[in-house]
Amino acid sequence: MFPIPKAVSFALPGHRAAALGIWLGLLASTGLAAHAATGCPGNPNALGTSRTLVVDPTEHPLIGTMQYRQTLPLKDHEVVLTFDDGPLPANSNRVLQTLASECVKATFFIIGRMARQFPEGVRKLRAAGHSIGTHSENHPLHFNKMSPERIRQEIDDGIRHTAEALGDPSAVAPFFRVPGLRRGEVMEDYLASKGIQSWSADFPADDWLHITPDQVYSRAIARIEAKGRGILLLHDIQPRTVAALPRILQTLKERGYRIVHVVPAAPGRPATPTEPREWYIHPPAASVAMAHWPRVPKFLFVSTATLPGPALSDSDLYGGRLRDLDLPAAIRRADDGHAAATGPLQSTAPFHAALNTANNLLALPVPSQSIFARPERAAAASHGLSPAVRLASPHGPVPAATPLSRAPRAAEAGGEPRHTFGTRPTALPDVIPSTILQR
């Protein structure tokens, strides 16, 4: 925000002064105070800062579409400038001068050891009104492979030394960007536990590579144009960035882009009201049901107990013997041409040794279409029978199975009808209820 100069200060009656104060407060909350006060001294055509966006890190802990689903709730043609790795006075001071000449506010992510070495550079950022986040203590490029203890130490030391350089811990914004964008869940969970927002970016300018200032400029503009809005990642310690920045700002102004300054919510400074869809570059359509499904939570299992495995029981027996399946004759016959007989139950594992070896080659028959018939069209309820099982009859030999397609209907066969699950009611007098079900 730009204070009203003393040269234009004036006295007003009480009620008018109060009204003016309220009006200026509203302008500040919408980010228009920079233009409403005095404009940009010495540059009436400056790009300027169009508005200030207040964010609550606890509500949106992960931002930047280079790595995360959400990004800052920017409107079309709005850009947030960010700078990493400083301060390095030789180059960082020139970046500050360029931003000041255009009255542009940005967010800087400070390395802890750089803050210890150049504390005055950090204080210049605060004096210029920029937001100050952190970028670890030593900028390790294997952040995602470090131990949890080392990750926490890098984060905490970077914050502590930046706060010491400023002399005020509250001056450090709860914003953090991981070196090399080497994100990881351990880091993200720790930052969230401390109420710190993890920043990625929406487009880089590749200014850390060995490229020319013209290439930094062209890549930055091309990627901004491709997405239309978002967070630009730059490095204030790079000479090529110093050389490319004036052209980047000038082109953004010519093409109608606006700069947004991001600050954290604080007591007396609530978060800017937004809609959930605004936090996405390409928000999901409201008609897509998948967009409204809740995310699968991370479950914490307090026990690793397992359920017991299946075992043979009384329901598998008939007269102490394993039951023979009621399958077509071509399948029920063994290799020697005789019907496969049931065998005595084996009382010790492995139980499969009690089965005829021919059963290893059996294939289940294709289910009848009547299985999927609607209940109101065919009575398919089971009345105490074991489905698809033929039992040895104690009254004598059991005749060959009657194909269900040729089975007489209950009304035609006479006698009490019996139902087989999944088929039309049929009369099968040779099929008897399971002995288990008769108990």
Q: Is residue 335 part of a domain?
A: no
pLDDT the model gives residue 6: 33
DSSP string, 171-222: GS-SEE--GGG---HHHHHHHHHTT-EEE--SEE--TTSS--HHHHHHHHHH
pLDDT the model gives residue 367: 72
Q: Tell me how far apart the alpha carbons of residues 39 and 102 are, in angstroms, rounded to a whole number.
A: 10
pLDDT 10s per residue in the chain (439 long)?
A: 333 333 333 333 444 444 444 444 444 444 443 343 347 888 999 999 999 999 999 999 999 999 999 999 999 999 999 999 999 999 999 999 999 999 999 999 999 999 999 999 999 999 999 999 999 999 999 998 999 999 999 999 999 999 999 999 999 999 999 999 999 999 999 999 999 999 999 999 999 999 999 999 999 999 999 999 999 999 999 999 999 999 999 999 999 999 999 999 999 999 999 999 999 987 766 666 555 566 677 666 666 677 666 665 555 555 556 555 554 554 444 444 444 444 555 555 554 444 454 545 556 677 777 666 665 554 444 444 444 444 444 455 544 444 444 444 444 444 555 544 444 444 444 544 444 444 4
Q: Tell me how far apart the alpha carbons of residues 76 and 82 are, in angstroms, rounded to a whole number.
A: 18
Q: Is residue 328 part of a domain?
A: no
- Cα 422 to the chain's mean position, in Å? 44
Q: Is residue 178 part of a domain?
A: yes
Number of domains in the chain: 1
Taken as a whole, the chain contains a residue count of: 439
Q: Is residue 319 part of a domain?
A: no
Q: Is residue 86 part of a domain?
A: yes
pLDDT the model gives residue 146: 93
pLDDT the model gives residue 368: 73
Q: Is residue 165 part of a domain?
A: yes
Q: Is residue 216 part of a domain?
A: yes
Q: Is residue 373 part of a domain?
A: no
Q: Tell me how far apart the alpha carbons of residues 115 and 87 are, in angstroms, rounded to a whole number.
A: 7
Can you give the residue range of the structural domain that contains 160?
25-284
| Cis check: omega of the bond before 387, within 30 degrees of 0 | no
pLDDT the model gives residue 259: 98
pLDDT the model gives residue 299: 65
For the domain that residue 45 is a member of, what is the CATH number? 3.20.20.370
8-state DSSP, 256:
T
